[in-house]
Amino acid sequence: MKPFCFADGLIIPTESATLHPMDLGLIRGYGIFDFFRTVNYSPLFLEDYLNRFISSAERTFLPLPYSRAQLSEIISLLIEKNNLENGGLRMVLSGGVSENHFSPAEGKLFIFAESLSLPAEEKFRDGIKLLTLEYVRPIADIKTTNYTLPVWHSVNWKRLGAEDVLYHWNGWVSESSRSNFFIVKDGVLHTPDQHILHGITRKHILDLVKNAVIRPISLEEVWEADEAFISSTTKILLPVTQLDDRKIGTGKPGPVTMDILEKFRALEKVTVA
């Protein structure tokens, strides 16, 4: 964590930030968050992240007492105060302290500045391994703070040398625990349309690849894909070369994947120029 955060309506030392022990974010795991990167002191795709965060607050019935303009101003002040050239900002809105300890209430907004380490270059070069996991994330299209199962399961996948998991249910894949998922077949990009968070990186990849197909994708299709990759704010785009104990395609990052990665990196430079 960086030295300064936003809490209680003020920019304060991060170590001074507090949460009531009966807040629903703690006792029920109920709250929302979002995370975005700064590149050369500029928040990357900020409007997209604010759109999602504001929408998440509305859909989870959590009051957000700050306008879009106020949030943008707070974020700018935090970047300056923390000298956050290349890092991350995490917005968290807790579930609040309610009379019945269950219903959503007026929560507390935190914005934290963080250091950020992107994946090692070898992961882009060699690809990563995912493990299949039969699961559908609750209210997957809202970025809630409920990551209980993958946090618990991460001990297992780290032991097996995997980067993350690939969720599937009744034979249909959805997403990774913190990333969207794509396959390439015969040169065409495909990505699931159900039980997913609509990622901001995913959004911009789909803008870059005009002929991408958004549809249900079966687990069987993943086994037969030519290429696969995951995308997220912190992972950018990581080639998936192994699923469980089976190779995807040739077992190496494919040309379509690497071309999209190159185009996305170019987009980042233009966006913050």
Q: What is the pLDDT of residues 186-210, one digit of tens each?
A: 999 999 999 999 999 999 999 999 9
Considering Cα of 261, then 164, then 43, then 214, what sign does the dihedral take?
positive
The residue assigned the tokens 């549809």 is 215
Residues of the chain with pLDDT under 70: 273
From first CA to last CA, the distance across the chain in angstroms is: 26
Q: Which amino acid is at 47?
A: E
Helix axes 255-272, 200-208, angle to 10 degrees: 110
Could you give the count of Cα atoms lying within 13 Å of 155 in the half-sphere of its Cβ? Answer: 3
pLDDT of residue 91: 98
The residue assigned the tokens 């097996």 is 160
- Are 214 and 191 a contacting pair, CB within 8 Å? yes
pLDDT of residue 272: 76
Q: What letter does residue 126 receive in the DSSP assignment?
A: H
